[in-house]
Structure 1
Amino acid sequence: MRLRIDVRGIAFLGVVGWDFIHYTTDDIKIEPPSLAIDVPNYFSRRLAVRRGTSRKPMPYLSIALKLAEGLLERHILPVFIFDGPPESLKRQPNPELIRSARRLYKRYLETRDPFDPHIATSLSDSPALSMYFMAFHLKDVLAASGVPTITAPSEAEMTAAALSRANRVGSVLSNDIDTLLFGSPQLTKGISISKGTMTYATLSQLKQELNLDLMQLRDLAILSGCDFHDGLRNVGPRRGAIQLKRYEDLEGVLRANGVAHSEIDSFIVARNTFYEADRIDPFMFELSLRPPNASQLKRQLLPLETNKTVTKRIKGLTWAWKRFGRKQTTLEEIC
């Protein structure tokens, strides 16, 4: 039995009913040339479309390394961001589940057997366990590849948005609309290295579409329902936007709809979660590229791929690292 990651039932969008987001597909252009990757969101989506018994075990490794190499070849620094502890208003992680994932990963490191029936069965029985296992594995492999990785203080998309808002990265790869509500100027839903295109939305477009500022957009997310609150009954995003223009803010809309004062507090507490991103120091994270560690990559990848394929991957990453470094040096000299 192959080790497979099960992502059934995992949601991606963060907010409810926001189908009016305008996405643009254009040539890849990211300024500054650095892309934050919301690992839980991006890999959940990618793996969700790679079902079937014929696929290779642990396909997330190939996805990650191809993405890293492809971005570096385009002189774009990939920054992989993993979830930390979730916000208190979200469902809390199961500590025993995390411990189980760690034990399974430790067993895998000892056996290096991608077809271990015990691990494969355990992962196939629990999507959440699979995601924790994947996170442990990806962190090690990406660290060996030399690209920067971050374990966020909280949600990955919150930290990614803080980096984007501070112009430390040029965009965030995710389709979680919360990323824009956390203040990221741009959200990249998809990127095709081979085609040289990206599909993205911007915070400025969203503001213009609804004629609301960022504070009101955060209010709208709470009213229409999001990860942090179920929302106000019978108030969707369109109706909520109209009421926000009429009553100015969340509190005004709630009072106009007859919500009891004792119930308003839960809405306010949920809204304040969006402001947590404003308190993250985006300069506390190291975003430097290091040379790939060939020996560590071989140790991680040889159980899964042929020696020829692994050698090719390492050569590709090393070439991309060297080329990226020369480009960065040239830019620094010009500046």
Structure 2
Amino acid sequence: MLTDRQSLILATIVKDYAKNGKAVGSKTLLQDLDLGVSSATIRNEMAVLEDRGLLQKEHTSSGRVPSQGGYRYYVDRLMTDDQSDLEIQKALQRVFARNFQQVDDLLQQAVDELVNLTGYTAMALKPEAMGTRLSGFRLVPLDGQQILAIVVTNDGDVTSQSFRLPEGMDVSELDGMVAYINDTLVDCLVVDVLKTLSGDLPLKMERVIRTPAAFLQLFGDVLASSISDEVFIGGQLNVLDYTSDTDPKALKQILQVIQSPEAMRKVVGTANEGVMVQIGGENRNDLFDQYSLVSATYHIPRHGAGAIALLGPTRMPYAKMVATVDQFRNAIGQKLIEYY
């Protein structure tokens, strides 16, 4: 355990370094803190913190910067709650002031505001599709033999895919299939509907269409797309602002990870109830060992877990970022509960 004075010095260095990006020396601490001690005493305390692995020297300065262990100690034991930031409240007001027709729209608006607020890379995952239900299916004739297949789900998402009818076939010949799907499968879970497509549904459909297999495959493809996972991202290139690694290959790999829903769910997790802070080498993906990831999940009853996250430098202002992610997580979760 640290003494009160050592804790105050460490917390001040963490905050000052996050704000200015410069190593902090004893003279700066003497000016910032009213400790009633000499500069030599502060240097001795800094030496103790360095010996304990909480501070480290920066090559270009006589001052100190937090180590990964120092950041961890600060986040776990010294960081105070910061839920009253007016900037966060204004950003949330802007998110919800705009109309949205689909969950995708809301999440993209949220990550865009997070980027504007923080300058970091922001990501969001919508709730898993376990509770998504089919609301309707229709076919719309386009030019010639082109047809647009449209699937609507109960979360407001509309997924479409165009295809070409065989020569000599009219879209009206598919009316029976469309009617059968809307009469028997609407309001069923999408995951259950997909299972029926590999069961006895094709045999049942033979009564209403000559060649059901090809068109049920089309229906299945559009339906599967309607519940496919997606990462909503803002500020992708901001990662260039806070890394010393200029290897294009490494940066490409980072961008590939944050664009992958499966990879991001592994990185942010889904079980934690609070805000999770992963610092440098603590990150679940080694590509993020120069960054910090602040993330939180939100849970929608009967639908599953979504998540939001900020990827930024290890010298981020953690109290504000944790409060930002926490408030966005809570607000988005509540809005989606009302929406569903």
Q: TM-score range by the shorter chain?
A: under 0.3
* Higher relative contact order, structure no. (Cα contacts within 8 Å, ≥ 6 residues apart): 1
Normalized against structure 1, the TM-score is what?
0.24
Say which one has the larger Rg: 2
Normalized against structure 2, the TM-score is what?
0.23
